[in-house]
A and B are shown apart, each in its own frame.
Chain A
Amino acid sequence: MVNALGSSLDEIWPRLVAGDQSRLRLRDDLVPGQALRFGEVAGELAAIPTALAAYACRANRLGLSAYTGIRDSVESSKARFGAARIGVVVGSSTGGIAEAQAALAQWSRSGSMPESFRLVQLEFGGMAEFLAGIAGLEGPRYTLSTACSASAKALVSARTLLELDVCDAVVAGGVDTLCGLTANGFVALQAVAKDLTNPMSRNRSGITLGEGAALFLVMRERGGVQLLGAGESSDAHHMSAPDPEGKGAEACMRAALADAGLEPGAIAYVNLHGTGTPQNDATESAALERVFGRPIPCSSTKPLVGHALGASGALEAGICWMMLRRRDGARIAAPPHRWDGVRDPDLPPLALVPEATWIHAPPPAAIMSNSFGFGGSNCSVILAEEPE
């Protein structure tokens, strides 16, 4: 995993549980005339090998950085199953649009595009092709792009490819980069926070954009962290605003519980979609209250890493994975919900996780992650750890 908090799980985890917001920094180069905070991945990214130079874009460098964390597992799966039986399903909403923006800008000025630009950088499918190329995999490879639910849905598709016996293992997750298109687009929608995103607060004013990549190797094996359940729904309401009653959010959380065969009481923690927009937080909190019937321990990790759009589902599932893997006996550490602490009287009561919280959650206690996207595309996933 790679995001604003670091480039490895060991770097990310301590900053996550400490609630470190210092990495959301001001940038004035993405939106003309505005300095806004962004969760940018710092430091040197992995270099694209020459043989795959056609795919050289920031998104694929982020993907490659994340891939190094699972390379050994993928290699041993390849030896076991063969390259043809391992697929790649990733989710993204930006792909290499930043490079396409630069290419078009140069074409507008000079009539020719940069020598290094290839259409496959702009194509979403190129991201899955690139990762398959890096890993030497021959199975199916495709990229889901359903806005902010994309990489949560990639995990669900990966699981189904195993069930269909098309694959024996699937590299699945998501990648998104900061770029002028999304930054200016969300500013145009008046959906960007004035300073830092402030989810669930009466003073919330929008999102803080981020970037990152998270990849899993999804297999049939029992033991370890399990993708216990998943639910999907469509709002069928509006392209850029959630259904005000939160029916879509509620339906997908209930579908995930049903798929996992769990009662709401079995969920110990929810990683919120929690974007900090007035509409998302209102609908998500109302749906949570209806599904769980009690203030369930929850937090949004977007005030720590930013909203990485198409990658956010995988990044947040990755955070849930770390919570389960780094448990202390019957307790799991939850990342704190960073906000100004001003409750919105219009929202139902929420058990937002305060600083350094341990949650009593003996195995096989499960945790949920929510992702709701543009176009009303929703996905909830439930993870739990099974003793090996």
Chain B
Amino acid sequence: MNRVELVRWAAWAPDIATQEEWQAWARAPRPIVGSGSPEVRFLPGLQRRRCDALSRTMLEVAHGCCPEPLLSEVACVFATRHGPFSTTVAMLQDLATGSPLSPARFTHSVHNAPAGLFSIWAHNPRASSSLAGGAETFAHGFLEAAALLHREPERPVLFVTADESPPEPFDSIADPGAGAYGVALLLEIGDGGGALEFSLRQAPGVLTPLAWPDALEFLRWWITGEERLILGRGTRAWTWTRRD
């Protein structure tokens, strides 16, 4: 059982952006449709041009969630199931046609490109993780954020999770309900209003509905004030319980 405090959150989807819109979505949730990415107007022009759709989404929610003075001080976890998917596919297409790769595109195709771009923009020298955990990417990212908080408990951890809508031809074999989205959570060791407990139990047969990403199911749970959330795959039941 690990106790953390959720201090702030931010989220983005193609047709949902403001906190009010997310409150409304949480009361009447529906699958996320569409692709696209946020405008990230706060980024300087050159940095904005270097960001692909995934990096724009991750930086948008990171910026929306993390208060300015903490931007350069938080340790970060970036969790994404598919990483910079369209950038990767564009390069695979270049390879298929025998075209030389663009060095800039190659550099920004790594799974930790959003983490690198965030650290450069925010002048943040602290530890940062980037990971993937299949259908359980959200829960594993939350676990890694708890791990980072355990290693460095003095300051908050910014947990950012997002995915693009899978590009052609891989969209045909991706899980259903894979629209673009991004969520950021600012977590710290604390016992205030946002305290929650997080644990991993064994409970065969628990299955998370796939209508929207786990990260958004977490957000729906948090906004609506329900006591307990269980997200399950296989025999793993990831469990969050409110303690405020």
A interface with B by C-beta (< 8 Å): 32, 84, 93, 97, 100-101, 104-105, 107-108, 113, 117-120, 122-126, 128-129, 138-147, 153, 156-157, 160-161, 163-164, 166, 180-181, 184-190, 232-240, 247-248, 251, 373-377
Contact = CB atoms under 8 A, between A and B. Distances in A.
Interface in B113-130: 113, 115-117, 119-120, 122-130
A125 B140 CA distance: 10
A191 B220 CA distance: 46
A184 B150 contact: no
A129 B131 CA distance: 13
Most chain A beta-carbon neighbours within 10 Å: one of B88, B98, B140, B234: B140
A125 B82 CA distance: 9
A123 B127 contact: no
A164 B146 CA distance: 9
A236 B108 contact: no
Nearest to B172: A113
7 contacts: A126-B134, A128-B133, A140-B133, A180-B95, A185-B106, A375-B112, A376-B120
Contacts of B174: 119
A60 to B, nearest CB: 14
B81 A123 contact: yes
Interface string B75-107: 000000111000011011101111011110011
Contacts of A190: 103
Contacts of A125: 81, 132-134, 136-137, 140
A188 B103 contact: yes
Contacts of B236: 138-140
A291 to B, nearest CB: 16
A86 B197 CA distance: 21
A181 B113 contact: no
Interface residues on B, range: 35 or more
A374 B89 contact: no
B58 to A, nearest CB: 13
A145 B131 contact: yes
Given A97-B92, A374-B112, 14 more contacts: A100-B92, A124-B83, A125-B81, A126-B134, A128-B133, A129-B134, A156-B151, A157-B144, A160-B148, A185-B109, A190-B103, A235-B125, A236-B120, A375-B119
B116 A239 contact: yes
Kindly name the residue among A113, A128, A156, A188 whose own CB sees the greatest number of chain B CB atoms within 10 A.
Answer: A188
Contact of A93 (B111, B131, B133): B111
A271 to B, nearest CB: 21
A141 B133 contact: yes
Given A108-B96, A157-B144, A163-B150, A375 B110 contact: yes
A145 B88 CA distance: 14
B103 A146 contact: no
Contacts of A180: 95
A257 to B, nearest CB: 15
Contact of B107 (A117, A141, A156, A374): A374
Contacts of A234: 115-116, 119, 124-128
A240 B108 CA distance: 9
A248 B107 CA distance: 19
B200 A232 contact: no
Contact of B169 (A113, A145, A247): A113
B100 A184 contact: yes
Contacts of B83: 124, 145
B19 interface: no
A139 B202 CA distance: 9
B150 A160 contact: yes
B112 A123 contact: no
A21 B128 CA distance: 34
A93 B111 CA distance: 7
B223 interface: no
B130 A145 contact: yes
B17 interface: no
The 9 closest A-B pairs by CB, nearest first: A375-B116, A145-B111, A185-B106, A125-B134, A232-B127, A142-B133, A124-B132, A160-B147, A142-B140
B81 A107 contact: no
A247 B134 contact: no
Contacts of A142: 131-133, 136-137, 140, 143-144
Contacts of B202: 84, 138
B72 to A, nearest CB: 8
A129 B81 CA distance: 13
B220 to A, nearest CB: 23
B2 interface: yes
A101 B97 CA distance: 11
B235 interface: yes
B128 A146 contact: yes
A115 B150 CA distance: 44
A84 B119 contact: no
Nearest to A231: B127
A146 B124 contact: no
A140 B140 contact: yes
A180 B95 CA distance: 8
Interface in B133-176: 133-134, 136-137, 140, 143-144, 146-148, 150-151, 166, 169-170, 173-174
B130 A236 contact: no
Contact of A153 (B125, B129, B200): B129
A168 to B, nearest CB: 13
Interface string B194-212: 0000001010000000000
A123 B115 contact: no
Given A142-B140, A376-B119, A188 B134 contact: no
